[in-house]
């Protein structure tokens, strides 16, 4: 039976805390090469200060000496499409050509009721749950009739649950956060990216400090803005 999952951020940072720390230290080493201003050993405190300085002065190219990978779980295909628009990234996503979706999972907004009866006109009513059930039954029917996943996928909705691994350097992550945690971003990618940002801020001090909470929209989803630091 088709399963509906409430859309709540679910992701894993695939790099160890140690690797993130090493990359922060590397930024100071790289940046200080410019002016030959090495001061001996770098540490987390000096690297954090240095990263903040780079961002304040707009020297973000130094942040490109890094790379961090996040695996997104339980997000809709609709969100993955938005994520995939970011070009200076590496992406590996679940295939609808090869993965069989006879046991479907759908992601559904937390602020909507999947049992709401929707008026379809001409005296017909249906809930989201019923509609999704029908999609699964139909997909399974196609598969049982010999259709391959890559053929049956034409009837899949954008709410289908999907997974994706997404890698970017920290300059590009900053760009992704700037666009996707801001109020105009769609609530699914925004609520997920707000949590990724918060995790990055804890693990990688200095590099993402200029993103601050700026409010909550009418459906209760947070948004952020960038400030001068
Ligand atoms: C609120 C919102 C609504 C959106 N609505 C739509 C929509 O309706 N339809 C739609 O098609 N898209 C839409 N998008 C996607 C949007 O148009 C961008 O494709 C997406 O946000 C990626 O942004 P980007 O190109 O700046 O960044 P990335 O692809 O992440 O690139 C980062 C930066 O690198 C530079 N760069 C990358 N590639 C090039 C290049 N080829 N040439 C020059 N510079 C480059 C640019 O400075 C760019 O900003 C929307 C995005 C948002 C945030």
Determine the angle formed by the axes of helices 187-203 and 170-180, rounding to 10 degrees: 140
- In this prediction, residue 38 carries a pLDDT of 86
- In this prediction, residue 7 carries a pLDDT of 87
What distance in Å separates the CA atoms of residue 118 and residue 100, rounded to the nearest whole number? 29
Give the ranges where the chain is alpha helix by DSSP (H): 17-35, 44-57, 77-83, 128-144, 149-152, 170-180, 187-203
How many CA atoms, within 13 angstroms, populate the side-chain half-sphere of residue 158?
7
Three-class SS state of 7: coil
Q: Which two tokens stand for residue 21?
A: 């720390």
Instruction: Please name which of 206, 212, 225 lies closest in space to residue 60, comparing C-alpha atoms.
Output: 206
Residue that the structure tokens 């995939």 belong to: 84
Question: DSSP assignment, residue 127?
Answer: -
Best mutation site among 86, 186, 189 for ligand 1 pocket (most ligand atoms within 8 Å of CB): 86
Residue nearest to atom 43 of ligand 1 (CA): 87
- In this prediction, residue 84 carries a pLDDT of 98
Residue ranges around ligand 1 (CB below 6 Å) = 85-88, 172, 175, 179, 184-185
Ligand 1 centroid, distance to 214 Cα (angstroms): 22
State the distance between the two ends of the chain, measured CA to CA, in whole angstroms.
51
What distance in Å separates the CA atoms of residue 98 and residue 207, rounded to the nearest whole number? 39
Question: For every one of its 229 residues, what pLDDT tens digit does the chain have, with 9 covering 90 and above?
Answer: 899 998 889 999 999 999 999 999 999 999 999 989 888 889 999 999 999 999 999 999 999 999 999 999 999 999 999 999 999 999 999 999 999 999 999 999 989 999 999 999 999 999 999 999 999 999 999 999 999 999 999 999 999 999 999 999 999 999 999 999 999 999 999 999 999 999 999 999 999 999 999 999 999 999 999 999 8
Instruction: Please name which of 182, 189, 186 lies closest in space to residue 215, comparing C-alpha atoms.
Output: 182
Q: Which two tokens stand for residue 39?
A: 């001061």
Instruction: Please name which of 47, 227, 142 lies closest in space to residue 134, comparing C-alpha atoms.
Output: 142
- 186 vs 1, 78, 129, 157, CA distance in Å? 28, 10, 22, 17
Instruction: Give DSSP secondary structure letters for 163-201.
Output: EEEEEE-HHHHHHHHHHHSSTTS-HHHHHHHHHHHHHHH
Residue nearest to atom 15 of ligand 1 (CA): 85
Residue that the structure tokens 């961090």 belong to: 68
Domains annotated on the chain, with CATH:
1-169 (3.30.1360.170)
Assess contact for 30 and 132: CB atoms under 8 A.
Answer: no
């Amino acid at each position: 039976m088709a399963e509906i999952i409430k859309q709540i951020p679910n992701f894993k940072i695939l790099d160890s805390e140690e690797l993130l720390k090493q990359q922060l230290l590397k930024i100071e080493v790289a940046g200080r090469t410019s002016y030959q201003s090495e001061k001996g050993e770098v540490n987390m405190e000096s690297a954090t200060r240095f990263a903040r300085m780079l961002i304040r002065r707009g020297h973000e190219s130094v942040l490109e000496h890094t790379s961090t990978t996040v695996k997104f779980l339980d997000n809709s295909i609709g969100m993955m499409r938005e994520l995939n628009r970011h070009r200076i990234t590496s992406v590996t996503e679940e295939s609808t050509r090869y993965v069989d979706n006879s046991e479907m999972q759908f992601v559904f907004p937390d602020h909507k009721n999947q049992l709401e009866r929707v008026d379809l006109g001409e005296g017909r009513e249906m809930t989201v749950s019923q509609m999704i059930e029908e999609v699964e039954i139909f997909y399974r029917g196609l598969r049982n009739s010999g259709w391959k996943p890559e053929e049956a996928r034409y009837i899949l909705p954008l709410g289908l649950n999907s997974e994706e691994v997404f890698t970017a350097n920290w300059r590009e992550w900053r760009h992704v956060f700037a666009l996707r945690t801001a109020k105009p971003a769609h609530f699914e990618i925004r609520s997920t990216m707000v949590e990724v940002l918060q995790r990055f801020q804890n693990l990688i001090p200095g590099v993402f400090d200029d993103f601050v909470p700026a409010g909550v929209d009418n459906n209760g989803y947070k948004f952020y803005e960038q400030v001068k630091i």
